[in-house]
């Protein structure tokens, strides 16, 4: 399956479909040369077959029992673990990411699927609310009204370059959509086609094993703009999940809004994830603080959506000493292979542009890596006034490059925070016995709530825990819809919409809203009180 003479195809409703467009092949970014099998690309007309299969599957799939749907999700997790060695090997070759990172990512992907199997089983995602009739109420009687959430319909998901497993074929968007009862049409990322194919086979086999309609999942290969735009315009697609660049996400948003029937796009796009150091943070352990920052900046070659691209450091001797610690630690770090030659070229070009901005100076630099596409990590600095009057400095550079902004006064720091674009994360570092910093931190948290999805104190933004409470989202341009999250249990809510049932007879009510709670849903809101 991995040979250069092998030709593989899209998986449409469980069956291979040879494409009629130009073929696709991955590039090994560490060696800079083609690798693996060829994949035939579908034309837009062929891509519509995947949507039609999803439409046919939607009715039967949304009606399967919670136990069956949860079993399907667990089956995918078990399949990933059973084929872990083959999947990780393919991903390592296609992305240049280290095996330890990919092994952990596969485990995270399996755990996400198991999390959503638990969400399906407990049932609170249905959002059940019941108000029994009050026929004696005056001046008007109240009817019997019951509410639940239902799946929106087939979902189109685009694979992410930087997470070939956790944000790809069986990643969070797919897992949450399948958990909601929505079939998935998945557009494979052309940078890791074999990895996508191996995971797609796992999902296809799990669907067959659990006797689900084949159209519940399809894996589509094609040239991004052509097939992606065609799929998003298809009337059978009812929502979109995307992780990638701001330009890619906004293009999908525009296409979805231009449809005769517009649909929501949940796109995670751009974030510099600011880290704010207050004066007291620099007095406790500046060396440890510097090491934590460098580790967060350089992990996975800075290709994490939560990588720190902006660091606010107080002016003065303590800040100078901290940056000297950063420079010393950064100097011993070699660059690691980036995901694709194109991503690397963009990163190098953006860094060069940053270095040429008047008022920006270098702080420290690591070493180029030994492989192809492995530029040295770098940190630059400027002052707050230059930052505020130079919009270019707030833009994301995808990779291990960070801009330090030196601030002089709390009011200046507040002004900078108020000017931030929407972000996935923001981090605060200060000492709890730091006197005036405690009041400043309290004020900053209130300001940061308006522009970020996750606020950290004393930590680093890289690393996202997958659970009930996590938020991986934020106001535009971090995401297209700051009311949502793409990670964690509540990610399922993106693919659901509320429906109310008024004076519907008991026998005709959906089982989720019937009196007696036949499904044993963990929490329902009944007559203004939460219970079962």
Residues carrying an active site annotation: 268, 305
Contacts of residue 302, defined as CB under 8 A and 6 or more positions apart, other chains included, come to 377, 398, 399, 400, 401
Rg (CA), the chain: 25
35 phi and psi, to 5 degrees?
-150, 155
Q: Contact 96/27 with Cβ under 8 angstroms?
A: no
- Count of all residues that appear for the chain in the document: 532
CA distance 362 to 318: 18
Which among 99, 365, 81, 350 has a CA at the least distance from the CA of 198? 81
Q: Contact 235/263 with Cβ under 8 angstroms?
A: no
Q: Contact 362/378 with Cβ under 8 angstroms?
A: yes
36 Cα distance to chain centroid? 27
Q: What is the 3-state secondary structure (H, E, C) of 63-91?
A: CCCHHHHHHHHHHHHHHHHHCHHHHHHHH
Give the CA angle between residues 45, 47, 53 to the nearest 5°: 115
Cis? peptide before 139, omega within 30° of 0: yes
CA distance 157 to 164: 13
Which among 188, 178, 230 has a CA at the least distance from the CA of 10? 188
Which residue blocks in 96-167 are alpha helix, DSSP H? 99-122
Tokens standing for residue 26: 């991955």
CA distance 293 to 48: 46
CA distance 158 to 457: 32
Which among 50, 41, 60 has a CA at the least distance from the CA of 236? 50
Q: Coil, strand, or helix at residue 367?
A: strand
End-to-end CA distance of the chain: 51
Tokens standing for residue 131: 């108000």
**Burial of 10 by CB count in 10 Å (0-12 exposed, 13-18 middle, 19+ buried)?**
buried
Q: How many helices (DSSP H) and strands (DSSP E) are in the chain?
A: 15, 22
370 phi and psi, to 5 degrees?
-85, -15
Contacts of residue 508, defined as CB under 8 A and 6 or more positions apart, other chains included, come to none
């Amino acid at each position: 399956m991995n040979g250069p003479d092998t030709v593989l195809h899209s998986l449409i409703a469980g069956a291979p479909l040879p494409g009629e467009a130009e073929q696709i092949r991955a590039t090994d970014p560490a060696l800079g040369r083609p690798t693996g099998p060829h994949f035939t690309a579908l034309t837009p007309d062929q891509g519509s077959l995947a949507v039609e299969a999803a439409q046919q599957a939607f009715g039967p799939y949304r009606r399967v029992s919670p136990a069956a749907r949860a079993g399907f999700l667990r089956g995918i997790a078990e399949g990933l673990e059973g084929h872990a060695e083959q999947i990780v090997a393919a991903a390592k070759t296609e992305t240049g990411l280290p095996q330890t990172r990919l092994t952990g990512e596969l485990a995270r992907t399996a755990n996400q699927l198991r999390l959503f199997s638990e969400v399906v089983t407990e049932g609170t995602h249905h959002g059940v609310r019941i108000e029994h009739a009050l026929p004696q109420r005056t001046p008007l009687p109240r009817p019997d009204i019951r509410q639940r959430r239902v799946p929106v319909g087939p979902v189109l998901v685009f694979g992410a370059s930087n997470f070939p497993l956790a944000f790809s074929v069986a990643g969070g968007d797919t897992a949450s959509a399948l958990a909601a009862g929505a079939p998935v049409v998945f557009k494979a990322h052309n940078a890791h086609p074999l990895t996508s194919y191996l995971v797609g086979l796992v999902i296809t086999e799990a669907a067959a094993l659990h006797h689900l309609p084949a159209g519940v999942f399809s894996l589509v290969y094609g040239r991004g703009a052509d097939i992606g735009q065609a799929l998003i315009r298809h009337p059978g697609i009812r929502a979109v999940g995307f992780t990638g660049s701001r330009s890619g996400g906004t293009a999908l948003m525009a296409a979805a809004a231009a449809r005769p029937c517009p649909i929501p796009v949940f796109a995670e796009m751009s974030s510099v994830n600011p880290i704010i150091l207050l004066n007291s943070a620099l007095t406790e352990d500046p060396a440890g603080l510097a090491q934590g920052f460098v580790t967060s900046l350089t992990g996975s070659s800075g290709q994490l959506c939560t990588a720190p691209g902006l660091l606010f450091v107080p002016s003065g001797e303590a800040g100078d000493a901290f940056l000297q610690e950063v420079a010393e630690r950064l100097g011993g770090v070699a660059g690691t292979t980036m995901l694709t030659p194109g991503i690397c070229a963009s990163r190098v070009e953006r860094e060069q542009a940053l270095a040429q901005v008047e008022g920006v100076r270098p702080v420290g630099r690591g070493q180029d890596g030994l492989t192809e596409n492995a530029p040295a990590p770098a940190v630059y600095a400027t002052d707050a006034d230059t930052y505020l009057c130079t919009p270019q400095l707030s833009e994301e550079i995808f990779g291990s490059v960070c801009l330090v902004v030196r601030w002089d006064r709390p009011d200046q720091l507040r002004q900078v925070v108020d000017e931030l674009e929407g972000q996935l994360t923001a981090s605060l570092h200060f000492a709890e016995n730091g006197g005036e910093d405690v009041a400043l931190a309290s004020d900053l948290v209130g300001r940061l709530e308006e522009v970020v999805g996750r606020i950290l104190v004393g930590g680093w933004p890289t690393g996202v825990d997958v659970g009930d409470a996590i938020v991986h989202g934020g106001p535009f341009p971090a995401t297209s819809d700051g009311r949502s999250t793409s990670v964690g249990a509540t990610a399922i809510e993106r693919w659901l919409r509320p429906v109310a049932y008024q004076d519907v007879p008991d026998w005709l009510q959906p089982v989720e809203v019937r009196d007696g709670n036949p499904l044993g849903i963990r929490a329902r809101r009944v007559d203004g009180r939460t219970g079962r």
